[in-house]
Structure 1
Amino acid sequence: MARTQGSHSDITGPRVREAALNLFARHGYAAVSMRKIAAEVGVQAGALYNYTPDKQTLLFELMRAHMEELLAAWDAATPPPEAGVRAALEAFTRFHIRFNTRRADAVFVSYMELRNLDPENFNVIEGLRRDYETRLEAILRRGVAEGRFAVAEPRIAAMALIAMLTGVNTWFRERGRLSLAEVEALYWDMVRRAVTNQG
C-alpha cells in the first residue's frame, strides 16, 4: 500500500535525533521548536511524538547517549595496567581529542545546553561527566603514587585537562595547517609537561 502524504512510516528515531542535534548545535535549544525539528526531518510535527514525548527528553537523550558512548569507548580503549601510567595518560589525551573532534555537534550541545536540562536530567548527565573525569583522575592519582606525576590536586587537574582537550573542538579544522595527529602530539606534550617535573 502506498504511503499517504504526511505519514510517519519512513521516520526513524535516529533521523529525529540527528535533526535535533544539528538544530540544537546551530541555533541553540531554546530557539528550536518541535515544529522546526519536524520540518528538518520532513514530516508533520505530530509525527515526532511517536519517538519522543517532548523536546526536553530529546535533549536529555542526546546528551546521555553521547556520554555513555564516550565512557564505553574509553573503557574499551584503556591500555592494560602493565603498559604504565604514562602510556595511560597519553592514550587518554589522544583518545579524548580524536573522539570529540569526530562528534563536534554532540560535544557542543553537551557543554552549552547543560543549563537547559531539568534538574533531574542535569543530575544524570553530571553524574556521567563525573564518571568520565574520574577515569582521568585515577590515572593522575596512580602517577602521583608511583612518583611519576607531580599533581597537587588530581581531581581539579583532571577537570582542567579535560577542558583543555575539549577546547580543540573550537578551532581544529580537517583542512587546517595541522593534522589531527600533529594536534594530538602537541597536546600530549602540553599534558605531559603539566603533570611532571621532567622536561
Structure 2
Amino acid sequence: MARKTGSHAEITGPRIRAAAARLFARHGFAAVSMRRIAAEVGVQAGALYLYTPDKQTLLFELMRDHLEDLLAAWAAADAPGPPDARLARFVRFHIGFHLARPDDVFIAYMELRNLEPGNFAAIEALRRRYEDALEAILRAGREAGLFAIPDTKLATMALIAMLTGVNTWYREGGRLSGDDVAEIYTDMALKAVGRTG
C-alpha cells in the first residue's frame, strides 16, 4: 500500500520502529499490540500499516537491523594481529556495542521465540556469522598454541553468553564504568581460553 502524498515517512517510520523497540523491550512482544505502538507514536492504528505489513515483520526487521549493524561495526573494528589481541578487541567491542543498545539486545535475545520459522532462520544465520567471527579468532589462537581450548565452538558459546550477560546487570552510574567492565571481562576472557603467552 502506498503512503499518502505528503506523509512524513522519513520521520514516522523511524518513530514507529523506535516506539516498537521500546515497548517490546519493556513489555514483551506478545503483550504489545499495533494499537499500542500507534498510540505511543501518536498516529491512528491503521497508519502503521503504511510502514509495516504486520507486527511480526516489525519484530523481524528490528532484530535483523540490530544484527546487521553489529556485524558491520565488528567488521570495521576488527584488525589483523595476534589472536590474543584480536580476542581482547572482540571483548571490548562486544561489551561497548551491547551496553549502548540495551533494548535492541533484549529484543534480539529474548524475543527469538516469537519469530516465525522463516524469520527465525534468517536471524539465526546472522547470529551464526557473528559467532563464527569469534570462533575464527579462538581457532587461530589454538592453532598458534596461544589458547588452550579443547572445543572452540563450546568456548565461543560460553564467551558470547558471558559477554552478553553484562546487559542483564550493568547500570550506568554504578560502581564500575562500561570501560572498567570491558577491561575486567577482557582479562577474564583471556584467562578463560587459557592464554599461554
Q: Which TM-score tier does this pair reach, normalised by the shorter chain?
A: over 0.9
Give distance in 2, aligned partners of 1:85 and 1:198.
12
Task: Tell me the equivalent position of 2:68.
Answer: 68
In structure 1, give the amino acid aligned to 2:18. E
AA partner of residue 194 (structure 1): A
Q: Kindly report which structure 2 residues correspond to 1:26-175, keeping only aligned pairs within 5 A, or say none.
A: 26-80=26-80, 83-175=81-173
- Equivalent pair of 2:38/2:44 in contact (CA under 8 Å): yes
Query: Is the contact between residue 145 and residue 196 of structure 2 (CA under 8 Å) also seen in structure 1?
Result: no
| Residues 74 and 93 in structure 2, CA contact (< 8 A), matched pair in contact too | yes
Question: 1:70: Cα distance to partner?
Answer: 0.2
1:156 to partner: Cα distance: 1.3
Q: Deviations over 1:115-160 (max 9, x none)?
A: 0000000000001001100000000000000000011110111111
What residue number does 1:25 align with?
25
> 5+ unaligned residues in a row in structure 2: which ranges?
1-5
The amino acid that maps onto 2:76 is A
Instruction: Note if contact 2:147-2:196 (Cα within 8 Å) is conserved in structure 1.
Output: no
Deviation at 1:74, TM superposition (A): 0.2
1:67-125 Cα deviation digits (max 9, x unpaired): 00000000110022xx2111100000000000000000000011000000000000000
CA distance in 2, matches of 1:27, 1:147: 47
Aligned-residue Cα RMSD (Å) equals 1.4
Structure-2 separation of matches of 1:59 and 1:8 = 23
Preserved CA contact (<8 Å) 2:23 2:32: yes
- State the identity %: 64
Q: CA deviation at 1:197?
A: 5.2
